[in-house]
Amino acid sequence: MHLVLIKNPDETKSDIYKIARVIYAQTGAVSLRAVEALASMIANNARANHCACIDVVSDANLFSVLNPASSNHERMYVDASDSRLQMCVRTVTRMMHGLLPDACYGATLFHMADDLPDWAMARGYIADIDGMLFYL
């Protein structure tokens, strides 16, 4: 018997899971508010830079969890059935379909409150949402 692997031709579903995993890893899915704020920031950044959301979440300078040395990097590999990851998937799906209201006040950058990147020194943050600081 010969088995053939059938792949889903819809790459947007793959992108949704990739984005959701980054959001989950970065936020720990501590609250829906935090997940929606980070998803909104990704959408705002993508619009401002005329790129795809998947390109935004591939930036290791913006998302520390992409660095294997990050203490939260292992969260990237959470089981797909995890209820908190599924919350992220639902939120990203809404974002990708334009159904997620801006939950971060137009911000296009962020960092975790316990980190202070060089670029943030010259800016004032516009929102502090569950330990994440958001900037225009």
pLDDT, the chain, mean: 91
Q: Average pLDDT of 50-79? A: 95
What is the structure's pLDDT at 22?
97
Phi, psi of 129 (to 5 degrees): -125, 110
What is the structure's pLDDT at 116?
87
What is the structure's pLDDT at 6?
55
Q: With a threshold of 0.75, does the pTM exceed it?
A: yes
DSSP 80: T
Nearest to 133 by CA among 65, 101, 90, 119: 119
Going from N- to C-terminal start, the domains of the chain cover 11-103
Of 116 and 94, the one with more pLDDT: 94
Q: Tokens 């159904």 correspond to what residue? A: 99
Of 18 and 10, the one with more pLDDT: 18
Q: What confidence tier does 124 reach under pLDDT thresholds 50, 70, 90? A: confident
Q: Average pLDDT of 60-80? A: 94
Distance from the Cα of residue 42 to its chain's centroid: 6
Of 14 and 8, the one with more pLDDT: 14
Neighbouring residues of 65: CB distance < 8 A, sequence distance ≥ 6: 22, 25, 26, 72, 73, 75, 76
Q: Average pLDDT of 116-132? A: 90
What is the structure's pLDDT at 129?
95
What share of the chain in percent tops pLDDT 90? Answer: 81
